[in-house]
Amino acid sequence: MSFCLVGCRYSGRGCFTKLKANTSDPEPFIYMAKPMIAGNWKSYVTSTKEAKKLFKDIEKGLPRQLKADVVLFPPSLLLHPLARNYSGKRISFGAQDIFFESGAHTGETPALLAKDVGARYALIGHAEKRAQGETDETVAKKVGAALDAKLTPVVAFGESSRDKNGEYLEDLARSILESLALVDVLSLKKVILAYEPVWAIGAPLPPTGRTIRHTMIFIRKTLAQKFKREDALKVRILYGGAVNEESALEIIQNGETGGFLLGRASIHADSFTSIVSQWATK
């Protein structure tokens, strides 16, 4: 993957922003990485037949000139039936969750097994897992296990709500740094982040691109506390929460994200592929 830092105004394609303190309209840079458009099917899909049809429709609907990394996160039981029948390269698969060790852990999916049945990515720390009690410490162990298993971790985090004094930012920063506790400067480039404000997940509308952009800047500043600034600038950070075909373009243009993690929009082939096309063919 190559990166290019060039000053630009909001090109809407892979832009990110110089880390300046106390600025509401910071100067952006071009970030020449491919976007990643990921679909989290959650537990919406309930049969192999349904999953295969959705997968086939998505595959068919993708733009011919695909300039994005497209990743689907089906329920773990569907990874094998989908991945074993797919020899193409345009779509990759990920596990919706993994566990950090094998052994006596009923119901869990060890990272190595997810890898063995066809996953290349592992979604870790999704808000719905955190709502069931998953802590940043557990997220950190799972990130470490994913890296050991040669899975690319997609580490999700986001504030539950916002207060007008911005105090939520402190918790957000702590959550990011604790979730990445076992990530060093060498493994940082193998990690993808997904900023998903809990209040936007499942909501009718996402925040504006401008709101997302400001949080993206904050996230990069937080990363720069632990890693070098250049490394912090290179991390791919997705946005997730209520993105659909109507709202996608404004976020693509103004959000300075490295792609999307889509929930509901990923279980409708037309919506998903439309969002991929809006971004990837620009």
Distance CA 52, CA 46 (A): 11
User: Containing H/E element for 16?
Assistant: strand 15-17
**Opening angle at CA 269, ends 77 and 49, nearest 5:** 40
Distance, CA of 85 to CA of 74 (rounded, Å): 14
**CA-to-CA distance for 228 and 222, rounded, in angstroms?**
11
Among 223, 242, 248, 269, binds ligand PEP (CB under 6 A): 242
- CB-CB contact of 116 with 148 (8 Å): no
Annotated catalytic residue: which of 128, 159, 196, 256? 196
Residue selected from 40, 109, 179, 271 as contacting ligand PEP according to rule CB under 6 A: 40
Interaction of residue 202 with ligand PEP, rule CB under 6 A: yes
Q: Which residue is nearest to ligand PEP (CB)?
A: 263
**Amino acid identity, position 75:** P
Catalytic status, residue 105? no
Q: Is 210 in the site for ligand PEP (CB under 6 A)?
A: no
Nearest to 94 by CA among 277, 279, 266: 266
Confirm or reject binding of residue 261 to ligand PEP (CB under 6 A): yes
**Catalytic site residue 196?**
yes
Considering only 141, 162, 221, 264, the residue that binds ligand PEP (CB under 6 A) is: 264
Pure H helices in the chain: 48-61, 79-84, 111-116, 127-130, 136-148, 168-179, 209-226, 229-234, 248-254, 269-280
If binding is defined by CB under 6 A, does position 258 make contact with ligand PEP? Answer: no
92 near ligand PEP (CB under 6 A): no
**Least distance in angstroms from the C-beta of 176 to ligand PEP:** 17
Question: What is the smallest separation between the CB atom of 75 and ligand PEP, expressed in angstroms?
Answer: 14
Using rule CB under 6 A, residue 37 touches ligand PEP = no
Decide: is 248 part of the binding site for ligand PEP (CB under 6 A): no
**Residue from the set 69, 136, 159, 196 that interacts with ligand PEP by CB under 6 A:** 196
Q: What is the DSSP letter of 186?
A: T
Using the rule CB under 6 A, is 129 a contact of ligand PEP? no
**Contact residues for ligand PEP, defined by CB under 6 A:** 40, 196, 201-202, 240-243, 261-265
